[in-house]
A and B are shown apart, each in its own frame.
Chain A
Amino acid sequence: DSGVTQTPKHLITATGQRVTLRCSPRSGDLSVYWYQQSLDQGLQFLIHYYNGEERAKGNILERFSAQQFPDLHSELNLSSLELGDSALYFCASSVDRGPGETQYFGPGTRLLVL
């Protein structure tokens, strides 16, 4: 158990809908990272938040947004969902914001868009 929790574990929805994925980092960790793993793909970096502020963005679609709240949990919002958004979404947390820090991953949310 990494100490990172993600809810829900599974999500099935329809095209055009909007969903929210939630992540609680390990106690004491200030950074939250979101990654997407599509079928047969490696993990793709989406966005990084540190202590409530956005630090970096990857190839995140404009339909996707995220935020980190004062209690440090984070939410990833996916809207106008398309079939291609079906994927595993992982969040990871680390103590600080810099490179070289070990990131601890949650179990992921499996999203299926029908």
Chain B
Amino acid sequence: DQQVKQNSPSLSVQEGRISILNCDYTNSMFDYFLWYKKYPAEGPTFLISISSIKDKNEDGRFTVFLNKSAKHLSLHIVPSQPGDSAVYFCAASVGSSNTGKLIFGQGTTLQVKP
């Protein structure tokens, strides 16, 4: 049962353009959503998060949008840079839980072409 889904395994964009990575979830108990970036041979690195009381959170070139009614979130990267090429994972956790365990999507490989 895949509670967090990233339906696009890969995405390719041109340097300077916008990258939009999408994520859908099925569990309405999820309250916190996070995006992680992963380079080969490294562990995931935290990028940005959003709680369910917000619909948008911005940090520099990265913005996460949350649409609770659609159970959908997206990560926008503007402008995209070649160094952004990596695998991006969205993850979710249940707010009322006594654990911060994360449920991850399958990941989307982003390639930013110079």
Contacts and interface: CB of A to CB of B under 8 A. Distances in A.
Contact of A42 (B31, B46, B89, B101): B89
A67 to B, nearest CB: 17
Contacts, number: 85
B87 to A, nearest CB: 10
Interface in B66-111: 89, 91, 93-107
Given A99-B31, A102-B49, A48 B100 contact: yes
A22 B66 CA distance: 36
Given A102-B34, A105-B43, A33 B49 contact: no
Interface string A1-21: 010100000000000000000
B93 A106 contact: no
B59 interface: no
Contact of A99 (B6, B42, B93): B93
Interface of B: 4, 6, 31-32, 34, 36, 41-46, 49, 51, 89, 91, 93-107
- Ranked 6 nearest A-B pairs via Cβ: A105-B43, A56-B99, A99-B93, A42-B104, A100-B32, A43-B104
14 contacts: A2-B43, A42-B107, A55-B98, A56-B101, A97-B100, A99-B31, A99-B32, A99-B99, A100-B49, A100-B95, A103-B100, A103-B102, A106-B43, A107-B41
